[in-house]
Each structure stands twice: as structure tokens, then as C-alpha cells.
Chain A
């Protein structure tokens, strides 16, 4: 299991969000989540310009085993998507917290919504409890 980077916030459904210096928010799924899903073979990305709402499904990752919705941790406009995942979805398996990022939003309600997310310690505790 990879170390959980300290600058990330998490949803209980295993998405991570990183607030960048320019105020945008990068979104991905946790290393724990990719481990649960197994080998990823397809990622359905949102489109740049889409408005996403915190807690709503906005992307899909599919492993050999199952399809899984990705929920937006933060509301806003999608300003960038990781189109490299179209050809190399396994990047998420290999580097979930880095090269395996999925999309970036320009947040519309960051201060309030980021309060709802878990910090790395709380997330670590959550997955610890899940495993038992």
C-alpha cells in the first residue's frame, strides 16, 4: 500500500482531491480503491466544460471485474481531463495519487465543500476499518 500523500482530501467513496496553488482541484481515486477494483481497462472521462456537482457521479472507471462510478468531491467546472487514461487506464493502478489523476475542476464552492472531505488520517482510519 502506497503512503497517502498529506496534501490530499478524501471522500468516503475513495476519491481524492488536491487543491492546487492556482485554486483548481485535481481529482483521482485512491490507491486503496484501485486495489479493490483490480486491473483497470477503461475510464469514461467527463468533458472539459462540464459542470459537476459534489457527490454526483461524473466519471466511470471499469476494471476487468466491475464498473464503478467516480463522484465529484467538489462542485465546479471541469477545466482539464487526463486523456492519457483513454489509452493507458492502468496508469491508475500504477500511480493512483500521481499520474493516474482523472480530472481537474475550477471549484465554485470550495471553502464549504472541502470541509466535508476527510483528511489523510481520517481516510487511513476509514480504510483500516473497512479491511476488518
Chain B
């Protein structure tokens, strides 16, 4: 049975082309994916991300629990409202999911995980929570709207009460505040500034319509994918999974090997690091015409690799991709596109940040 978010009728009324995504009936686009992409890069767009799973963790030992559960260090969160991106690993160091965790109080943390991994994530969290006396509550009563783009924050703020507006205007990147019944976080998945707003379902349709009236363009999963790839952000299931460690997925920056912290997967990660990581995730740009796609073979002097996420970048006007390749591959790399070897450049990503191509891309 396909699940629907509270905004399903709103999407259909806007003429959205709907697709199944992780068991959810979600908008792919509302006409043109590329126009929606540009709206986010140049002005403000919004995404219904209510399919994502919000999990609240309560208990005096929640921080201890998360020290154990996450590869990134929860102790980086020192001020209430602050957010952290982390992977949750299995004992082999493979990625169960990537997520954002918010520190709200010493006995209250909020975690947002992917929709497609809902069941296994909750099972994993619930398996390890009892040892720390942590209560796990899935918040099915909450919807979520991501408003992203250079003008996104101003447009959201125009809809808030004066007190909440002041708080929302003040928060730094990767910080959340609350007001008007909303949980407003300055986070996102597009490489643009903006907010992700967690809203009670009963208020969600009204908020969506007010954002529309404020000139925020609805954008679908299609644009969300090209935006996040340009921004150099991993997609779970495509760029990494349980057989892949953060070292192999370009996520070393999210692993904190802080002294004395025994997180799940740490031993395996240290072992792999000591032995040398054989594969690396790299960014690719193709200057010729054509599109890089998931699954295409990448040919390097060190052996073959494969494209993980690949797409046409509307901002750059050419194809970009993430690929997993043998470590050290840099020059003379090409991609097998329908039997033809097309030359590509290995580049540092992100490809685009704050509306602009990164130098060297």
C-alpha cells in the first residue's frame, strides 16, 4: 500500500507528476524539473519531505546512547538547537543510514532519517536504545517542508509572527529554533541557504499554501536529486549502503575517531583505515555532450569503477557524477556510455555551492 503525505492532494492540484519513492507517492516534478532546479538556485523553491522519518529520543542518557550509535561525535553539539550530520553504522562499518540529529535538551534529541530506510533504522535504534534507557518515539504526526534558495529564508520569515521571525532570522547554519508551532532548522539538501520546517500535519497544508502565495515555487524529487548532486551530497542507497564504509563513500569528514568513544562500527573502520582503503568516491565532470548515469562503467589506469549517482547538471550545463573508483585514479579516466569511452575529469566536489559553480569544475 503506497503511503501519502498530508500534502498529496496539494501536489495533485498543482499538476504534479507523481512517482513511487520508497513506498511513498511523491511529486517527481510539477512540469519542468529543470525550471524547478533553477528556481531553487536563483530564488526560492520548496519540497514536501514529509515522507522522511522524524524520531524523538528522550531520556537522561540520550547523549551517551548517541555517542555509541553514531560515527560522528554528538559531543560536537554543545548548544541546544544545534544539528549534526552523521552516519549510523553496523558492526562491519557499513552505512545503515545517514541522518541529521538535533540537540534540543540534554534529555531530548531529534533525529531525521531517510524514508526508504524507515523500518531498518527504527529497528536498529530500538534495538540499542533500551541499554541506555532511551525512549524512542516516531513522530508520524509531523510533516516537513524544505524551503531552499537565496530568497528562501526571507520568504519564510515574512510568514512568521514577530517573535518567531526574530529567532528564525538569527539562527546560524545547522541550527534550529521553535515558534508558531513550527520547528525551523537552517539545514537542507540543495547547497543553498534555507530552512527545513517540521510542522504538525494539521498545519501543513496551510503553511504550504502560504509559502506558495509568498512566491515559493514547488519543486519535486527530480530537482531535489540534481540539486543535491550538484551540492556534492550523498544519496543513501545509491552512493552508499550497508556494504560500504564512510571511507569509501566520501564521508570521512563525518567520522569522529575521538579518543575513548566506542561507537558501533569503529573497530571495523579503524581496521580498514590501517590496511588502506582500496576504493574512493570521486566527482566526475564530462565536458562532452551526453549524460552520466548510475551503473555506467568507469575506466581508470588503476582498474574499473562505477558511477553511483549521475545526472545532467542544470547549473553547469553538462553531466556530473559520483563514482566509486580504485584509490588513486585521477587522470585519463573515461566512462563507458553505450559502448563508447567518453573522457571525464576527476574533480573535487561540491560541483555547485550557493548558486555558483565551484572553481575547477
Chain A positions within 8 Å of B, measured between CB atoms, are 38-39, 41-42, 44, 60, 62, 64-67, 86, 93
A86 CB contacts on chain B under 8 angstroms = 289
B291 at the interface (CB under 8 A from A): yes
Beyond A42-B312, A64-B312, 12 extra complex contacts between A and B, CB < 8 Å: A38-B28, A38-B32, A42-B289, A42-B290, A64-B33, A64-B34, A64-B222, A65-B28, A65-B222, A66-B293, A67-B291, A67-B293
Nearest-neighbor residue (CB-CB) of B314 within chain A: A64
Name the distance in Å between A19's Cβ and chain B's nearest Cβ.
Answer: 30
Q: Residues 277-319 of chain B: 1 if any A CB is under 8 Å from the residue's CB, otherwise 0?
A: 0000000000001110100000000000000000110100000
Name the distance in Å between B182's Cβ and chain A's nearest Cβ.
Answer: 32
Q: Can you show 11 pairs from A to B with CB atoms below 8 A apart?
A: A38-B33, A39-B32, A39-B33, A41-B312, A42-B289, A42-B290, A62-B291, A62-B312, A64-B312, A65-B222, A93-B32
* Bound-complex Cα distance A112 to B286 (A): 43
Q: A41–B222 contact, CB under 8 A?
A: no
* Bound-complex Cα distance A42 to B290 (A): 6
* Bound-complex Cα distance A75 to B100 (A): 56
**Majority-rule SS of B interface residues:** mixed
* Bound-complex Cα distance A62 to B311 (A): 10
A64 CB contacts on chain B under 8 angstroms = 33-34, 222, 226, 291, 311-312, 314
B338 at the interface (CB under 8 A from A): yes
Q: A62–B33 contact, CB under 8 A?
A: no
* Bound-complex Cα distance A42 to B317 (A): 11
Interface residues on B, range: 10 to 19
A67 CB contacts on chain B under 8 angstroms = 291, 293, 338
Name the distance in Å between B317's Cβ and chain A's nearest Cβ.
Answer: 9
B289 CB contacts on chain A under 8 angstroms = 42, 86
Name the distance in Å between B281's Cβ and chain A's nearest Cβ.
Answer: 22
* Bound-complex Cα distance A79 to B289 (A): 23
* Bound-complex Cα distance A42 to B289 (A): 7
Q: Residues 175-191 of chain B: 1 if any A CB is under 8 Å from the residue's CB, otherwise 0?
A: 00000000000000000
Name the distance in Å between A124's Cβ and chain B's nearest Cβ.
Answer: 20
Within 8 A of A (CB), among B205-240: 222, 226
* Bound-complex Cα distance A50 to B17 (A): 37
A39 with B34, Cβ < 8 A, contacts A62-B290, A64-B226, A64-B311 known: yes
Out of B17, B28, B291, B338, name the residue touching A41 (CB < 8 Å).
B291
B29 at the interface (CB under 8 A from A): yes
Name the distance in Å between A41's Cβ and chain B's nearest Cβ.
Answer: 4
* Bound-complex Cα distance A65 to B290 (A): 13
Name the distance in Å between A96's Cβ and chain B's nearest Cβ.
Answer: 15
A42 CB contacts on chain B under 8 angstroms = 289-291, 312
A38 with B222, Cβ < 8 A, contacts A62-B312, A64-B34, A64-B311 known: yes
Name the distance in Å between B38's Cβ and chain A's nearest Cβ.
Answer: 11
Q: B34–A60 contact, CB under 8 A?
A: no
